[in-house]
């Protein structure tokens, strides 16, 4: 069974050790620098969510000060190279999508600081495709890439196998970080919930209609991960028109891979203090 077939039929799969230890060290170091200079990015990135507990917002480790920094892996050249467009990740995405890949959403990092990382409620991921108006629903590469170990105690992803077969469901705004859906009103019980525990560098890929959530981080361990959705280039023109009638997606959504070749970031927003630090993060022997 191919990865694409597994995603469509089973609704999800887990790929182990996609990022190396060196990749993860680079990503964390760069993300920490971004967080340290977050005031520079506040008017340039659409969504930055401070940690819910205000007493944590002056923590000496800047990664503990935020719940979510969106878009940054599509704006920063180091995080682009080692997270958004990391070659092994793109190879995996090509098994599902084909040789041309574009981002569908912001490519941000969920931080979940120890003891304070909040809940992400039950939901299906947003998509302009709902099957209405004759627009076909594409296969998407909807994924979470962990920089830390994720377990039940620190808020690993939970999902409900088979829920993707229900199609798009109505969501409600309850004031949480995302709109939510109640899976237990759609024929599922708590015994159907599967917790996906992962090691650092693992990737979870799920169907965009899979009902999933992540509980609060109740441990003393952090749980940082990148979440994003990639789409095939064959759907790119339709998505451009849905997002913007003029047919442009904006500079924060560059192509990730074209004709099987990983792209370079052509436009970035980098704080002045970080513009010379990226290459220093490269481990010996890496290009």
Q: Which residues of 111-132 are buried (b: 16+ CB within 10 A; e: fewer)?
A: bbbeebbbbbbbbbbebebeee
Spatial separation of the C-alpha atoms in residues 37 and 39, rounded to whole Å: 6
Average pLDDT score over residue span 145-152: 97
Percent of the chain with pLDDT over 70: 86
Spatial separation of the C-alpha atoms in residues 53 and 39, rounded to whole Å: 19
For 183-230, write each residue's pLDDT tens digit.
999 999 999 999 999 999 999 999 999 999 999 999 999 999 999 999
Q: Which two tokens mark 127? A: 């998509």
Check pLDDT > 70 for residue 177: no
For 92-146, write each residue's pLDDT tens digit.
999 999 999 999 877 799 988 888 777 888 999 877 676 666 677 889 999 999 9
Mean residue pLDDT of the chain comes to: 87
For 34-45, write each residue's pLDDT tens digit.
999 999 999 999
Residues 6 or more apart whose Cβ sits within 8 Å of residue 277: 33
| Number of other CB atoms surrounding residue 137 within 10 Å | 15
Specify the residue for token string 């958004």: 84
Q: Look up residue 42 and give its DSSP letter.
A: T
Q: Residue 36 in 3-state DSSP?
A: helix
């Amino acid at each position: 069974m191919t990865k694409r077939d597994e995603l469509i039929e089973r609704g999800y799969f887990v790929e182990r050790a996609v990022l190396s230890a060196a990749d993860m060290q680079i990503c964390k170091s760069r993300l920490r620098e971004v967080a340290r200079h977050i005031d520079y990015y506040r008017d340039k990135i659409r969504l930055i969510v401070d940690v819910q507990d205000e007493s944590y917002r002056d923590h000496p480790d800047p990664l503990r000060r935020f719940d979510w920094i969106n878009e940054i892996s599509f704006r920063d050249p180091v995080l682009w190279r080692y997270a958004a467009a990391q070659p092994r990740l793109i190879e995996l995405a090509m098994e599902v999508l084909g040789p041309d890949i574009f981002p569908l959403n912001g490519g941000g990092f969920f931080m979940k600081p120890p003891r304070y990382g909040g809940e992400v409620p039950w939901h299906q991921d947003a998509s302009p495709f709902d099957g209405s108006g004759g627009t076909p629903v594409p296969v998407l590469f909807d994924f979470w890439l962990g920089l830390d170990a994720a377990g039940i105690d620190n808020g690993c992803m939970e999902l409900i196998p088979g829920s993707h077969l229900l199609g798009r469901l109505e969501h409600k705004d309850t004031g949480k970080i995302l709109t939510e859906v109640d899976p237990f009103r759609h024929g599922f019980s708590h015994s159907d919930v599967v917790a996906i525990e992962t090691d650092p560098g693992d990737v979870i890929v799920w169907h965009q209609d899979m009902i999933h959530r992540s509980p609060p981080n109740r441990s003393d361990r952090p749980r940082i991960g990148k979440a994003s959705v990639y789409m095939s280039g064959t759907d790119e023109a339709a998505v451009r028109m849905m997002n913007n009638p003029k047919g442009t997606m904006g500079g924060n959504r560059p192509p990730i891979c074209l004709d099987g070749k990983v792209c370079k970031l052509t436009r970035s927003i980098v704080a002045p203090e970080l513009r010379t630090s990226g290459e220093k993060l490269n481990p010996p022997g890496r290009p």
